[in-house]
């Protein structure tokens, strides 16, 4: 296994090494095993491919993305699925659903780029004018905003 430079060692310990259940912090080999286990869980990956991944990861010749290295094989990965392993997304603003998905992904802690160029936003529905917002004295919401397409 190739040694880390001083800077790489600091970055690894600060960012990717997780606490072990029995105490202490992961060593590089522990992180590699966690990342591999998390990425192959639920997939039929043969032992030879896992061995190849282990070699490439340990030698740092290939690697999952940083967020994947940080999250793979953790309870966060189990709860959120593959979206937890990414930290960058990009959408065009030509579909209202893209705004909904962008908000969900932002709540996962990632970054979302959204292109608001005229060629995209021109495809969105027009903003309604003269919408009336009425207050209803209910316990489930302060204001009911009409939503009709």
> Are the CB atoms for 130 and 102 separated by under 8 Å?
no
Q: Which of 78, 101, 74, 97 is nearest to 89 (CA)?
A: 101
Alpha-carbon separation of residue 93 from 86, 101, 103, 108, 145 (angstroms): 21, 11, 13, 20, 23
- Residue 147 binned pLDDT confidence (cut-offs 50, 70, 90): low
The partner residues of 62 in beta bridges, in order of sequence, read: none
Among 147, 149, 123, smallest CA distance to 133 is for: 147
pLDDT of residue 148: 59
Adjacent-strand bridge partners of 112: 89
pLDDT tens across 42-72, in order?
999 999 999 999 999 999 999 988 888 998 9
Q: How far is CA 68 from CA 64, 96, 139, in A?
A: 6, 28, 42
* Cβ(84)–Cβ(71) below 8 Å: yes
| Nearest partner of 53 among 72, 67, 71, judged by Cα | 72
The rounded percent of the chain whose pLDDT value lies above 70 is 94
pLDDT of residue 124: 93
pLDDT at res. 14: 94
Q: Is the dihedral of CA 54, 57, 63, 68 positive or negative?
A: positive
């Amino acid at each position: 296994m190739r040694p880390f430079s001083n800077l790489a060692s600091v970055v690894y310990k600060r960012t990717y090494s997780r606490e072990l259940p029995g105490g202490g912090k992961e060593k590089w080999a522990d992180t590699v095993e966690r990342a591999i286990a998390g990425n192959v869980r639920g997939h039929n990956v043969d032992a030879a491919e896992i061995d190849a991944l282990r070699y490439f990861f340990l030698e740092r010749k290939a690697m999952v993305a940083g967020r994947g290295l940080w999250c793979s094989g953790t309870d966060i990965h189990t709860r959120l699925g593959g979206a937890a392993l990414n930290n960058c997304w990009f959408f065009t603003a030509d579909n209202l659903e893209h705004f909904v998905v962008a908000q969900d992904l932002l709540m996962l802690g990632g970054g979302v780029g959204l292109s608001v160029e005229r060629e995209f936003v021109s495809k969105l529905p027009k903003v309604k004018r003269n919408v009336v917002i009425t207050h209803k004295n209910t316990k489930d919401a302060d204001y009911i905003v009409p939503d009709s397409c």
